[in-house]
Chain A
């Protein structure tokens, strides 16, 4: 059982929902990949995609502020995120993924990034209501599942 799953039973319904949607986001960026480091790269691509999509609604600065807070919260639990940097208005948005995988491995990096995504969903839910936050993220997910994740190629190159 990994760290994220340990407290699963004590998660509230909203937390479970947040985790579920974060995983779906990551999965949607994972399917087309191959190789040993897919989980972490897929999680980073999901973050890039969500940043781009949410920026349309709340602006790149607003979205960056959300991610910054989520990263800070996740870092307290996942030291692997120390090397992760957020680059506002840049592609890719999540930087330092390669270095983190090298230092901590693919699965721990993926788990840490997933945790950051979960914190972001929860934070957005607290700010604008869980129902609306879910709706916005579902929208992003739908776009991602339709194959509109245009930055994935750039993430591969990065």
Chain B
């Protein structure tokens, strides 16, 4: 029974004590019964069953009055529970109260009184009594701080002295205030100031837990209710979020998954929509870290909701990875987003948003390398691993997406992007069909008409082309593009008649040509004079020929006249029969040489006439360009450079780029020109110039040039490398060094430009492979994909093939031996990133087509793989094949 009493099993102990006392009735059994009754009354008091406790106490008072006389504390406690404090504090007004008795009463107040308003209202003390004043002030302050009023004045509590039995309450009020102010250290300090036996100490365990301290204490129902009502739920979640962010930054798989589990547990009480959004973001961040989806779903306690918000987030994340493969996968996810967005009523199918999204997807697909598109059919994607058994429905084609975009949003921007893509496809008349769609959808725009005009002209459908031109002139006759198109069309027609020897038809075309508003004064007159000169030369009318030659020279100068006449004679395929106006380059001032060449190239560029620049005085022209005092603007130099590239005069183009960069006004375009002028083996400098040109063009917001550079890079570099920008220091280093390197590289050498190291370092910083990340000082753990390294080694093995090692040494020699047209095709293919095996196969075919010579004997390329030895369907044209009409444009 003593053990039962000690173990707070008072009910059973009392029943047993009663039975025992009935049977034996001894002094010991009575003492045991009294103790059992006391324990029972204490337990009932603790359970706030005051009526039952008082009943038992009354029974005890009747049956064992001697024993009950010492139970004053129990009686007082019951008074406290009833709110009857007058009897407890009343003796404090007795002037004869002993110090011990006062101490006992005050201790009782400190240890048992929890009803401050009742204490403030006791009638046995006068209103001005310090205990009543302190209780009243504390009751108000406690009410205020728990309701949100944290004023310092309220917390001063001057009514409560340090010696007051209510002083622990003052510490409690301040602790609560500090808790709400997030002053956790101060809060802990005030909690420590509360004596353990004081009533306010009952809040210490709960408040300690609310401050975030882990404890093993089992909380009562009231404590649990307090923690839930006033506790800081966000603390654990915020802590978990901070932990997982650190794990994401460190790219550690296991800590990330642990963090996901912690967040899933800590966010249980969170608002459902906010919790779901958090889960979706975490899932997407894990996808970006290449953590398998099953593990993430398991850690999250289930997959996140796959709605439009999730798919948009996921698509953006995968897209921002920047690799070609990820871009392809992002397109699939964007497609899934589209379906979900239409289902969730974010937008309607065929609406503006649908058009904008489809255009974005189309442009992504258009930038994808062909091999990536093929790989997507077999590879596992996020969607195919979604756990819903969903199969990858295949990558939509760019054409389908452009079509959908333009149906949903028939804007000029959408059609322009579609037409630009269709032009590059070179599939029949796909671009013409797009232009026709554009023309039908937006009648007032001239861009589709200009395309159709040019396309018809290329097919020798001159009548149709003129019809389009007339329509374009009706819409906007003053538009420079329309004027230029008219001049090009008329010149093309005239050139065709010259080629056919129908010189009698030329004057009418010249008459029309003279009506075109020219950009530079004298251009149209010079063209007319050149055409007249050509007609007179073909007709062998010497006097007329001399007259027109004089007029031509007078209008644009000797150098330009020589070049324009040469260009016209070549286009009309009369070059060998016609003697063009003579030029004594050696005795012509250098500045005049440059100015004349620029003038001719600008004129040729305007009317689509290819100006020949590989002639006997190219050396003099290069020498003139290298002279410091030059009065040619950037646009003229660019026209000269482009013409030089078109005519395979790479050294001249290189010199033009040097002269242009020294102007310092259009470095992006001159770097791009230089990149294309390099010989094929000058890999590092070409990469450097392209990267710097792209970065400068991006900074200058030159989207047209950026697009051209990206188009050129798309076959060779991954999208991540395209998306990342070079730092300003690297760009400046490239420009400065290229500016100094004025001599065209003619002999393959091992030395690299000084900026090569910076360029490699910049590329490594963008690369996500373990080796490059380690080079950048990033910690790499075992989790990083070991297979990736193996695949790299495999790639390296391919390059170690003896046949490929042989290639660079012989390539320059072989290229030099090829006809210019074939050489250009091969160089372009290499620059565009074509498979080296295919390129060499092509070289082999080109060499075989040549007349037996040194090159064909020196080099025979043996394809490495049988599959690659299939004959190519598209044969390389014969070296002396005359240019077709369309090549003018």
Partners in one complex: no
Mark A residues whose CB is within 8 Å of B: none
